[in-house]
Amino acid sequence: MALNSTHKGKRGENEFCEWLDKNLGIDYAEREYNQAKGGADVIVADFIFEVKRRETLGLGNWWYQVAVAKNRHPDRNLIPVVAFRQNRKAWRFLIPANLLTGVKVGYLECNAEVFVQFAKTIIRN
């Protein structure tokens, strides 16, 4: 990965951690530093996040990345989430389909407002 891409990724992750603090009151997000070997970007509360700040979307690939990262933490019951944002647009999220439907695989896409309500429900429980 090019140095610019690394810096852009880090900026996106930091921006997202600020978003978590502002919208969910979570100011203790844990950035993973071993991301090159299949790690996720951010782990917080019950969630493991893959964070993307890109114009070109790769939702299926991103979902695969967070699923692999989740499997690196078998001792923790983490919920995989992809958080992504394009320039001048709001954050969007991919969450596991099995948590809201009878579908056992895949993901559902939602906006930030829905994700905040979803996350608050999970964190409360």
Domain range spanning residue 60? 3-124
| Dist CA 120 CA 116 (whole Å) | 6
Domain count, the chain: 1
**Could you tell me the pTM of the whole model?**
0.88
> Which CATH number belongs to the domain containing residue 117 in this structure?
3.40.1350.10
Q: What is the pLDDT along the chain (125 residues), one digit of tens a residue?
A: 454 666 667 889 999 999 999 999 988 766 665 555 567 899 998 999 999 999 999 999 999 999 999 999 899 999 999 999 999 999 999 999 999 888 888 999 999 999 999 999 998 76
pLDDT at 123: 87
> Could you give the 3-state DSSP secondary structure of residue 11?
helix
Whole-Å CA distances, 18 to 36, 72, 115: 23, 25, 15
One-letter identity of residue 91: W
The 8-class DSSP code of residue 99 comes to G
- Phi then psi for residue 6, to 5 deg, are -65, -45
Gap between the Cα atoms of 12 and 61, Å rounded: 18
Nearest by Cα to 48 from 57, 35, 58, 61: 35
Close Cβ partners of 64 (under 8 Å, ≥ 6 residues apart): none
